[in-house]
Amino acid sequence: MGTRLGMSVFVVWWSIANMLTAVATGVTSLGIYRFLLGLGEAGVWPAASKAVAEWFPAKERAVAIGIYTMGATVGAILAPYIVIPLATFDYSRMGDWIGGFLAHGHGWKIAFILIGAAGFLWLLPWAWLYRTPAQNRFITQGELTMIQEDGGLERAATAHEKPWTWMQVFAFRGTWLLLLARLISDPVWYFYQFWFPKYLSADRHLDQSQLTITWVIYAAAGVGSLAGEWFSGRLVNRGMAPTSSRMAVMLGCALLMPLSPLIAWVTDLNFSLVLACVTVVAALAWLINISSLVVDVVPKHSLGTVFSVVAAGSTLGGIVMNTLVGSMVSGPSTKPPGFLDSAIQWVFGGVMRMVEGEGYAMWFWVMLALHPIAWVILKFGKIEKL
């Protein structure tokens, strides 16, 4: 389908699923609509990486990935200030039909409708502007030459190759190295997105109004997105190979993660938040560079496919993290396990029994080692030689 049409399909799908959430009537319909949203959202990131590969030379790829990743963190910062007013507004004054649909306690529906509709607005400039460099009427000859010269060796090697089959994708050593690295390291960022406010409420005793302080976590994520690409780009400009520059920055990030246990150990809330922000900066700088590694080592003709497989490893890591942290916080579950729960318990059952009921502090100790382990896997797997 190509990057332009493929991205359009994913955004339309995502937007419709987001808007349908407003008409959810129970757990089942809510689950279906959010599952559909996840399918669309999952396609956006591989398409974005393919666009970066098409448009940016190696020294600028981390910059591009850092900027579009920062967009997600900025959105997360703005979300409470947009969604809460929309959800609490008195819509009864706007007429019987709107007032009936958005009755008291149902104002949250409008947030899903408007945010979903924003996706369709985004499509207009995307469809108008996006083309491959060779087809884009706005590119200068100097820019086109820079892109072509940077990727010349790759094009010479792959110009007559067909996209990889699934067998070739899974036979490629880099696929498994990157998948494992993201499976191990991405749970740190998932934890900060989904569990850190709960930690602040349960262990730091912040009430609902005080939890707005979590905006600093997303601000730190934005800083990490930009810092990761800046350091990597500087090293490339000084003559270091792109893959080596990514690994160098990622090593620095991994060495900061042992600060994690101090977040739960220190008594001062402000100092704890500072430490959390430092580790989030490191986690996002790592994420930007490992995403750039995928673009660096995978041929462009199969980049979207490999990136999708690697991203699936990230999602699996998030599922495992949610199960482990839930066990740490709540103790043994009293509900029958679902399919994924059973699979995770089969693999991690012994670990889960060891950490049941130990609280959030145990997870902060786990985060100490995840990035260093992932870096060692990449290093000894010789990702730089691919």
Average pLDDT on 133-161 reads 69
Do residues 246 and 367 both lie within one domain?
Answer: yes
Do residues 209 and 280 both lie within one domain?
Answer: yes
Do residues 317 and 364 both lie within one domain?
Answer: yes
**DSSP for 74-91, written as a single string:** HHHHHHHHHHHHHHHS-G
Q: Say how many C-beta atoms besides its own lie within 10 A of residue 239's C-beta.
A: 7
pLDDT of 160? 52
Mean pLDDT of the chain: 86
Q: Which domain holds residue 19?
A: 1-57+86-157
Domain count across the chain: 2
C-alpha span between 198 and 329 (Å, rounded)? 10
Do residues 263 and 344 both lie within one domain?
Answer: yes
pLDDT at 118 over 70: yes
pLDDT of 205? 92
- CA within 13 Å, CB half, 232: 35
State the pLDDT confidence band at 237, using cuts at 50, 70 and 90: confident
Least confident of 93-97, 126-130, 227-231, 373-377: 93-97
Joined tokens for residue 144: 């086109």
pLDDT at 233 over 90: no
- Nearest 5 degrees, angle CA 41-CA 61-CA 242? 125
Do residues 236 and 107 both lie within one domain?
Answer: no
Contact partners, residue 22, CB within 8 Å, separation at least 6: 109, 110, 112, 113
pLDDT at 87 over 80: no
pLDDT of 92? 67
C-alpha span between 180 and 349 (Å, rounded)? 20
State the pLDDT confidence band at 153, using cuts at 50, 70 and 90: very low
Do residues 246 and 346 both lie within one domain?
Answer: yes
Q: What is the pTM of this model?
A: 0.79
pLDDT at 299 over 60: yes
Contact partners, residue 297, CB within 8 Å, separation at least 6: 174, 178, 243, 383, 386
66 domain residue, yes or no: no
Residues in the chain: 386
pLDDT at 362 over 60: yes
State the pLDDT confidence band at 103, using cuts at 50, 70 and 90: low
Do residues 301 and 357 both lie within one domain?
Answer: yes
Give, as one character, the DSSP assignment of residue 162.
Answer: P
